[in-house]
Amino acid sequence: MPVHNADIAAIFEEIADLLEIEAANRFRILAYRKAARILSELPQDVRALLKQGFDLTQLPGIGEDLASKIIEIVSTGSCSLLQRLRSELPPAITELLHVPGLGPKRVKALYHHLDVQTVEQLHRAARDGCIRNLPGFGEKTELNILKAVEAHASQSRRFKLATAAQYAESLVAYLQKSPNINHVVVAGSFRRMRETVGDLDILATSSAPDAVMQHFTAYDEIAEVFATGSTRATVTLKCGLQVDLRVVDDTSYGAALHYFTGSKAHNIAIRRIAQKLGLKVSEYGVFRADKSIAGETEESVYRAVGLPYISPELREDRGEIEAARAGRLPKLVEMADLKGDLHAHTKATDGHDSLRDMALAAQKMGFEYLAITEHSRRLTIAHGLDPERLLRQCDEIDRLNSELSGITLLKGIEVDILEDGSLDLPDKVLGRLDLVVGAVHSKFDLSRIKQTERIIRAMEHPHFTLLAHPTGRLLEKRAPYDADMLGILRQAKNRGCFLELNAHPERLDLLDTYCQMAKEEGVLISINSDAHSCYEFSNLRYGVGQARRGWLEKEDVLNTRTLVELRTLIKSTM
């Protein structure tokens, strides 16, 4: 069975979790977590790298021991260390780690003090009031655990978009090898660029659907075939991801792609418009009585109901049909529109590459500029910079800029916003920078009023430029903190500063609805990678997808400006 980067990363994350439950060496745990992050964000497929004879120890954070384990996993699909760790702990205990708010330390405490080994036992302990008296918990934490367990039980498993992409792209490449397939595309929520997907909807066109089905069900990553027929099949991959394949004729390609891409609400709205026109829209085409009048392309489907083409990311029934009717559909931002990136880290803090390497990687992306925004001193786990180290880096950036051609490094900092809204570094240091990116990294549980006041107070600072990952969420790990986003956006508008759309696949923060709100309020959004290595600039495609879901156009995005235009805008905020 082929092993994807996401599979290796998942194994390393589980190893780290189990080691933490066992109270193993902290640096060993961090090494596995770091490797998991690097692998999950690596655009190159590890299997392909190994076939090319690539030395894995050249990857940041990967030493000989981790490299040998990666080779073992790619070769066998498993890891002997993980098997050993699993044998030393109850088999279901890792499921507890999937409950939001429960990290390895709390799982360890629950296991040792209450013998909690399963989600069912956790629910019982929280319901019966057994957790609140444990050290470090309390009544509020117990209530949050109870709510999280109940929410977790009601949710079906979803995959982050970037993870699903690894499996989708591999499967599409396999299907394209069939001589019987003319077109193949992933539709559904994946094509709409939703931040998580529950399954993959794949559409293929062929005049020999039986042969396509045979080819599809022979895919070696399939764990179970639930249903198969002459034109459709449903399977589950070994990673747990469900895949639905539908095969149609070329003449129905556009209609099927429209049908299997749009949200349920969007498709219902289109069908209602068609009914008023005496038409019927299905996955096979647009029909007047029994006669097909459209369906070979998506454009023809929309044209048949009197609408212009609507981009996949907008098909959520959130005003796109009304905008299409009125001729007000946005010309959505594209990856090629980005001129630079305003949030990146180097090995000076928790990044993996040098200033020069990051600059050259950004230049390969076609960028004019890259802002280096290390963490500030408060974030000790990331080796944040104190004033002296930051000023030394500024001098280093100045020297490097004198040597570079075609790319300019901007001097910045990702400064912690403290609980009282003050910034983690003094004004005399912040004043030397090209931009200041403020971020909340602590006290996520403040009340809505206090969290909002904290952020607004930080934005009032004379050197404040950009609010990083504005809701603080981590997909499937940490919910957004409670804050008045409309109030924050209006303060940004009044103050003349900006908000970030963080493209990291675990964040995708701002939410798409907040992007749309920012557009309406006239606040520019910067689509940033938050790159910690040269490889991570490729994550910007997910940020652009989120921006498109939020109706953002080129002019709504800060870093579509040239360097000269950008400097003018930033200078006006400071």
Task: Judge whether 167 and 6 are in contact, CB under 8 Å.
Answer: yes
C-alpha dihedral sign at 125, 126, 130, 132: positive
Q: Are residues 122 and 234 in the same domain?
A: no
Supply the pLDDT for residue 381.
78
Q: Distance (Å, rounded) from C-alpha 446 to C-alpha 483?
A: 9
| Residue 398 lies inside a defined structural domain of this protein | yes
Asked if residue 538 belongs to a domain, the reply is yes
Asked if 245 contacts 204 with a C-beta cutoff of 8 angstroms, the reply is yes
Task: Write down the H helix ranges in 326-421.
Answer: 355-364, 387-403
Say if 330 falls within a structural domain: no
pLDDT of residue 574: 64
Q: How far is CA 352 from CA 136, 173, 348, 393, in A?
A: 34, 31, 8, 16
Structure confidence by residue, pLDDT tens digits, 524-536: 999 999 999 998 9
At residue 235, the pLDDT reads 94
Confidence of residue 570 (pLDDT cuts 50, 70, 90): very high
CATH code, domain with 217: 3.30.460.10
Same domain, 176 and 37: no
Over residues 157-181, the mean pLDDT reads 93
Q: Which of 282, 297, 325 is the last residue of a domain?
A: 325
Residue 280 included in any domain: yes
Q: Do 146 and 170 belong together in one domain?
A: no
Domains of the chain: total: 3
**140 shares its domain with 215:** no
Answer yes or no: is 551 within a domain. Answer: yes
Q: Are 553 and 452 members of one domain?
A: yes
Give the pLDDT score at 156. 64
Angle made by CA atoms 234, 238, 243, in degrees to the nearest 5: 25
Q: With 90 as the cut, is the pLDDT of residue 26 above it? A: no
pLDDT classification of 60: cutoffs 50, 70, 90: confident
Does position 501 have pLDDT exceeding 90, yes or no?
Answer: yes
Query: Is 381 contained in some domain?
Result: yes
Q: Choose the final residue of a domain: 305, 325, 345.
A: 325
Mean pLDDT, all residues of the chain: 92
Check whether 52 has a pLDDT greater than 80: yes
30 and 177 co-located in one domain: no
The confidence score (pLDDT) of residue 218 equals 95
In a domain, 176, yes or no: yes
Question: Does 164 lie in the same domain as 48?
Answer: no
Residue 324 has pLDDT above 90, yes or no: yes
* Identity at 376, one-letter amino acid code: S
Per-residue pLDDT tens digits for 474-491: 988 888 999 999 999 999
Write out the H or E segment, with its range, that includes residue 14.
Answer: helix 5-21
Q: What's the pTM value of the predicted model, to 2 decimals?
A: 0.85
Of 127-131, 261-265, 565-569, the poorest mean pLDDT is in 127-131
Last residue of a domain, one of 154, 180, 212: 154
Place of tokens 């040269």: 534
- pLDDT band of residue 90 (cuts 50, 70, 90) is confident
290 shares a domain with 357: no
Q: Are 136 and 167 in a shared domain?
A: no
Task: Give residue for tokens 């209006």.
Answer: 490
CATH code of the domain covering residue 111: 1.10.150.110
- Coil, strand or helix: which one is 343? coil
* Contact status, residue 481 vs residue 446, Cβ threshold 8 Å: yes
Q: Grade residue 43 by pLDDT with cuts at 50, 70 and 90.
A: confident
Mean pLDDT across 280-301: 95
Domain that holds residue 494: 335-571
CA dist 342 and 515 (Å) reads 17
Quick one: 483 and 542 in the same domain? yes
Query: What pairing do the DSSP bridges indicate for beta strands 196-197 and 159-160?
Result: antiparallel
Q: How far apart are CA 303 and CA 300, in angstroms?
A: 5
Axis-axis angle for helices 26-41, 5-21 (nearest 10): 160
Domain with 368 in it: what CATH number? 3.20.20.140
**147 confidence band (pLDDT: 50, 70, 90):** confident
In this structure, the answer to whether residues 382 and 443 fall within a common structural domain is yes
For residues 556 and 332, give the distance between their C-alpha atoms in angstroms, rounded to a whole number: 10
Same domain, 132 and 180: no
Calculate what percentage of the chain has a pLDDT beyond 90.
Answer: 75
Give the whole-angstrom CA distance, residue 181 versus residue 476: 36
